[in-house]
Chains A and B, each alone.
Chain A
Amino acid sequence: MTSNVPAIEPDYLHAQTNRKGIGAWIFSTDHKRIGILYMVSMLVFFMTAVVLGVLMRLEMLTPGKTIMQPQTYNTFFTLHGIMMIFLFIIPGLPAVFGNFLLPLMIGAKDVFFPRLNLLSWWLFITGGLLALVSLFLPGGPADTGWTFYVPYSIRTTTNVIPALFAAFILGFSSILTGLNFITTIHRMRAPGMTWFKMPLFTWALYSTAWIQILATPVIGITLLLVVVERLFGVGIFDPNLGGDPVLYQHLFWIYSHPAVYIMILPGLGVVSEILPVFARRTIFGYKVIAYSSLAIAFIGSLVWAHHMFTVGMSNTGMFIFSLLTFLVSIPSAIKVFNWIATLYKGSIKIEVPFLFVLSFIFQFSIGGLTGLMLGVLAVNIHVQDTYFVVGHFHYVMFGGTGFGLMAAMHFWFPKMFGKMFKKTPAIIGWLLMTIGFNTLYFPMFILGYLGMPRRYYDYLPQYQSYHIVSTVGSWILFIGILVIFINLLISLKKGMKASANPWGGKTLEWTVASPPPVENFHEIPVVEKGPYDYSEYEIKPELIK
């Protein structure tokens, strides 16, 4: 170890390792390379699921058959759900950006268990491939929807078992990532980085990791039980054997509701990270945002049965879960208010990541407020299992997390690859995505309110005009996504070289070179200031006079 820092040293993308070619990546324990691995694999699954979604929308263009058979449609929405949820949104932000950024943000050289981290990726790939293989096995792809509700999932002859195993393995991967992150945050923060000097994305990852650890095993065992029931006919959920299918739903949602917070919390963290940089202003209410992440994780684990208001729960149960659902909106709203307050009197610089963040806030607010409507018992009975739910879900998950991911991709692209992207095509892509997204999903609220049920292959002619609008929206959105990705891919090759800190960020990842060196930091930094110290931009009161 010498104290002479070499003038030019290989970054993590080009560093020589003892393995060559692709082996240097898929066997690497470097958190940055693992992050990129996740990104590539996740985007492949994402694009596949997007294509499935666009085809489903095309099918809905006219009543009756447009392009596919009903059974194909059923497998399409099942696959679209499984891939988007388990292979894209859940691992999306935490596994890609969490892996890449967490050690950089807290001033560490890697995560605490680097080899376990690689294992998580391998499990992720195994699960993903298993899900894909299940498509082509005899029996046909699963047609249960991503929820695998019993008793249908026990009786259908399609390939439910490989799909269940795939979800189980993916859950395991998610657990190991969470475990790794919690240990890393507890044990590896740089000297001086107290809990309240951590970047807010790290706080979001921390809260997410706890849900991953404490909720995922419930779905693990539940899915395994369905496998056991199918294989051995053990009586657990099967009503023929005295079992209670509603109990399956309870267990499923004990995980799957908190899971939507696994999906959205890191997105909220990304917004808290990007806003202060482009508002050139210290984030408003740092501690409250940090605590609200924990609060969302906690309260979010208590509201699962609001997915089940029409299954015949007890009235007490419905009342309690409706009440708890209202509570979870408080910490979410706190975040939105704090973001808006951060913008107030900031010196805003319009850049692509910032535009995505603005779309995020707009769409997340609509998604959140319609979620409150769904939490109201009377309204819920009316719109349960209609397109209203589909609209709400996509506004939060795609309008929120999806756009958050796009914001993160553009914000940290220079850091990850050392290249700048072209601004104009990115803005065009953002505009297309925002217009397309709202055209696609907003009519669903109206459709649902009018009574169009979700997951139906066919519909009455009176709904068609809304379906047409929605399908046209899906084309615009699709083009927008293509523009965004093609632009990023071209920039990867031809982009201008990025400086270490192109946006003027204040968190630690911007203090190292772009792309970062293998070891991240030559010298572990000593942290003295909070993460968003933009006091130099503040207008001093004495100057105004």
Chain B
Amino acid sequence: MTTAATTHTHRDDVGSRMGMWLFLFTELILFGGLFIIYAVYRFKFPEQFSLAARELDTLIGTVNTIILLTSSLTVALSITAIQQGKKHLSMMLIGMTIIFALAFLVNKYFEWSHKISIGIYPQSPELLNKPPGEILYFGLYYVMTGLHALHVIIGMVVLLFSMVFIASGKINQQSYVKLEAGGLYWHLVDIIWIFLFPLFYLIS
């Protein structure tokens, strides 16, 4: 009886990760709804989409892609570090990830404010004068990159908590599934961007 009880209450990291993966699927489908809308409207207005995409700065997009890919690397490395018991290295790597995330958001901020300064924002007279395809393109641009940025912010908070947990010893060499879950979330944010980047920046 004792054995049965303990085997049952033991920690099950595979199960915890399974839960996290299932949650990631819901995030994937959440963006998936937007991808469906994107696909339909791009199919309807291919020329206007590529015309509108010229307003976007490919350089900023590329820089942000590199930033996010690198942040994905650092968060992956932090897991290896904690597995090897290198607490401070792990925390430093997560700190770097958060800084990269901030850099991404700063870039995004400048990108959005530039758009707004040249009069491209929802309901602006400038935008309303454009053909429907371009209005929809920018509508989707703001919604999709906005929702993505929101996920970057949530990811930062999650990683910040992971850092605190490492410092307090709640995440340690033996038990780090919380960090793994945070990392998984961060990689998903990265994957979404891997698709957003070509769909918005590279179709002109």
**Chain A contact residues, CB within 8 Å of chain B:** 1, 3, 108-109, 112-113, 116, 175, 178-180, 182-183, 186-188, 213-218, 220-222, 225, 228, 232-236, 241-244, 247, 250-251, 254, 522-524
Contacts and interface: CB of A to CB of B under 8 A. Distances in A.
Interface in B96-140: 122-123, 128, 131-133, 135-136, 138-140
Contacts of A215: 29
B18 interface: yes
A235 B18 contact: no
B29 A112 contact: no
B142 interface: yes
B115 to A, nearest CB: 13
B149 to A, nearest CB: 14
A1 B41 CA distance: 63
Contacts of B133: 242
B12 interface: yes
A228 B133 CA distance: 19
B20 to A, nearest CB: 9
A1 B128 CA distance: 71
A217 B139 contact: no
Contacts of B139: 234-236, 241, 243
Contact of A233 (B8, B122, B143): B122
Classify the interface of chain B: helix, strand, loop or mixed.
Answer: helix
Interface string B12-40: 10110011001101111111111011001
Nearest to A180: B19
A259 to B, nearest CB: 14
Interface residues of B, number: 43
B47 to A, nearest CB: 14
Contact of A187 (B15, B28, B36, B143): B15
A228 B23 contact: no
Nearest to B34: A221
Given A220-B30, A242-B133, 10 more contacts: A179-B19, A179-B23, A218-B30, A221-B34, A225-B37, A225-B143, A234-B122, A234-B139, A241-B136, A524-B4
17 contacts: A1-B1, A109-B8, A178-B22, A180-B19, A183-B19, A183-B22, A186-B15, A213-B25, A213-B29, A214-B29, A217-B27, A217-B30, A217-B32, A225-B143, A235-B136, A242-B133, A524-B5
B2 interface: yes
A3 B1 contact: yes
A247 B15 contact: no
A192 B19 CA distance: 23
B131 A242 contact: yes
A220 B34 CA distance: 11
A14 B78 CA distance: 47
Contacts of A235: 122, 132, 135-136, 138-139
